[in-house]
Amino acid sequence: MHITLEADYAVRIVHCLARNARRMDAKSISDETGVTLRFSLKILRKLVSAGIIKSYKGTQGGYEVARPLDEITLNDIIETVEGPFTLSRCLKGDYSCGQNCGEGCDCVFRGIYEEISQEVQQKLSAVKFSDLVKNK
């Protein structure tokens, strides 16, 4: 089990911007992170839409972090790209396992998966980019 490549790249892109603490163009971000320019631009659009990154147009344009680093967590980035973390698809509203399971379900697996998912979200929310930059 692992996060998607897109989420991993999104974390690396935000870390790159946080670590450099300056406006960077997409090509420089791509070069520094090893993410293709095309994929970087796709991810940057999502991060801008979520208010995590600011975008500037023109010759002095580029991207920079939009919020203080202690207000941006790993969970913020991963959820921006993938949506809320869930260990199992049975926790998503549009999935049916055929057991008539839903909210208030007493399925033993659903309860365990929900508890683990919440723990993972809490751990990811505890990791702030301000801490990641300090530990370069």
Please say whether the beta carbons of 124 and 78 come within 8 A: yes
Domains of the chain with bracketed CATH: 5-134 (1.10.10.10)
The reported pTM is 0.85
Q: What is the pLDDT of residues 35-52, one digit of tens each?
A: 999 999 999 999 999 999
Q: What is the pLDDT of residues 2-35, one digit of tens each?
A: 789 999 999 999 999 999 999 999 999 999 999 9
Would you say residue 135 has pLDDT above 90? no
Would you say residue 63 has pLDDT above 60? yes
Q: Which residues face 63 on adjacent strands?
A: 24, 55
Q: How far is residue 114's CA from residue 85's CA, in Å, rounded to a whole number?
A: 10
> Token pair of 93, please?
């509203």
